């Protein structure tokens, strides 16, 4: 009889422990188990990486590249169900060196896609296919200062 009671107590203890483990593994209805909801967009703020800087706003963001080139993301960096974002915008390339009098560099359309964990962003910039340019992928960290090591023409 006492053995049966011991088995029931152990079974109850194991069930309680399993419930706690499952709750800690994200079984809590869409949270990470710590009471923090998963992120739904790239956090606002500054991100930096090699040859790129990104300032994220609620409406999109701005990009800095070497040699004075820049970019504008014109739609929010909202994450989908798989944790990816896709946004549109433009890139303004500055080639450096002498520019003909009266000429102005022209921006081109681009698509900005990627992922984030809230601290790091992987960003792929895909130029308008008419530009015949390759997509480029960058890794940026929250709060990091961009490191521009490209050689710019004079």
DSSP 27-69: TTTSS-SSS-PPP-BPPSEEEEEBTEEEEEETTEEEEE-GGG-
Per-residue pLDDT tens listing for the chain (154 residues): 554 443 444 344 334 333 333 333 343 334 445 555 689 999 999 999 999 999 999 999 999 999 889 999 999 999 998 999 999 999 999 876 556 666 778 899 999 999 999 999 999 999 999 999 999 999 999 999 999 998 887 6
DSSP H helices in the chain: 2-24
At 102 the pLDDT is: 67
Q: What is the pTM assigned to this prediction?
A: 0.72
> What's the first-to-final CA gap in the chain, in angstroms?
91
Domain boundaries, the chain: 1-28, 45-142
């Amino acid at each position: 009889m006492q053995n049966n009671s011991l088995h029931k107590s152990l079974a109850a203890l194991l069930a309680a422990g399993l419930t706690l483990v499952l709750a800690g593994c994200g079984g809590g209805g869409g949270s990470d188990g710590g009471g923090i909801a998963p992120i739904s967009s790239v956090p606002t703020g500054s991100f930096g990486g090699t040859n790129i800087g990104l300032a994220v706003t609620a409406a999109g963001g701005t990009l800095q590249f070497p040699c004075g080139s820049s970019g504008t993301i014109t739609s929010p960096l909202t994450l989908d169900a798989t944790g990816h974002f896709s946004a549109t915008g433009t890139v303004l390339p500055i080639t450096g060196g002498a520019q003909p009098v009266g000429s102005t560099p022209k921006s081109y359309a681009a698509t900005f896609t990627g992922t984030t964990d809230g601290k790091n962003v992987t960003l792929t910039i895909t130029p308008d296919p008419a530009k015949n340019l390759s997509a480029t992928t960058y890794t940026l960290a929250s709060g990091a200062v961009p490191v521009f090591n490209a050689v710019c023409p004079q």
